[in-house]
Chains A and B, each alone.
Chain A
Amino acid sequence: MPDLGKYAAEVLSAYTLSFLLVGGLVLVTWLRARRVRRALEQAEARRANG
């Protein structure tokens, strides 16, 4: 682990917040994609079955 010296808090908080933001975005994107895909599959199935 590199010695961050007196700037440890700044560097770590910058990285942590960024990871959280990107992670949150990826999660939200993926969850919505999954939800919409499933809903569409169900709707298409309903249409196919009359």
Chain B
Amino acid sequence: MSIWEYANPLKFMGWTAPLVPVLSVLAAAALMLGLIWGYFFTPDDYRMGATVKIIYIHVPSAMMAINAWAMMLVASLIWLVRRHHVSALAAKAAAPVGMIMTVIALVTGAIWGQPMWGTWWAWDPRLTSFLILFLFYLGYMAMWAAIENPDTAADLTSVLCLVGSVFAILSRYAVNFWNQGLHQGASLSLDAEENVADVFWFPLLVVIAGFVLLFLALVLVRTRTEIRARRLHAIALRERMG
């Protein structure tokens, strides 16, 4: 049961050790640069006023919320096919990060929407899809927590991630259909990727890069922690058996 004997986790711990501080510093630098640039040195939007500044948090977090799930999907597939334990643990590690990104996207989206739509929550297709994504993250994390055997947990959560991904895509189209049917064309587009002026676009890119680096740093640290935790568990088991 001990995974430490396999070369894979050992090598992983080896080559990722120097990466963690590097990624952390780069992430902090990019985030600070991008957010300061965007917050202090960009103008207000004539339609949305100062709330346009929320874009620097809302868009990157929303992108990461989706990308985190995509990474979990790939890692789950690698686990199911190649049985690399590190891959399964990486998927487990990424979930809380993705979930927090989803929450940030929801919260900033709702706050942004309040002055625009006059309500704290609107069942806008995008916000609704993110709410569903949040539920998927919860289910995935709950499943990992509920199952004792690590390999069984890895297998079942991987299958869940696969099927969940299909349904997440299905839901996105269903939600678009659902809202469109009720409020034809009334939704204000928070999709600031369309027609974003250059003056907003460049600091936004920097913050997006910062979020990606932050994601990588966090997932790396969490995966390393998971590997150590498994090793700890294996030692504890052996100690108990004398």
Contact = CB atoms under 8 A, between A and B. Distances in A.
Interface of A: 1-8, 10-11, 13-15, 17-18, 21-22, 24-26, 29-30, 32-33, 36-37, 39-40, 43-44, 46-47
Interface residues of B, number: 35
Interface of A, secondary structure class, is helix
A14 B228 contact: no
A5 B222 contact: no
A8 B103 contact: no
B218 A29 contact: yes
Q: Taking each of B96, B104, B221, which has the highest tally of chain A beta carbons within 10 Å of its own beta carbon?
A: B104
A13 B221 contact: no
B176 to A, nearest CB: 25
B97 A25 contact: yes
Contacts of A24: 100
B50 A2 contact: yes
6 contacts: A14-B108, A17-B108, A25-B218, A29-B221, A36-B232, A39-B232
A37 B218 CA distance: 16
Given A10-B115, A14-B111, A29-B222, A21 B103 contact: yes
Interface string B57-97: 11001000000000000000000000000000000000011
B228 A11 contact: no
B236 interface: yes
Contacts of B107: 14, 17-18, 21
B53 interface: yes
A13 B113 CA distance: 13
B53 A11 contact: yes
Contacts of B221: 29-30, 33
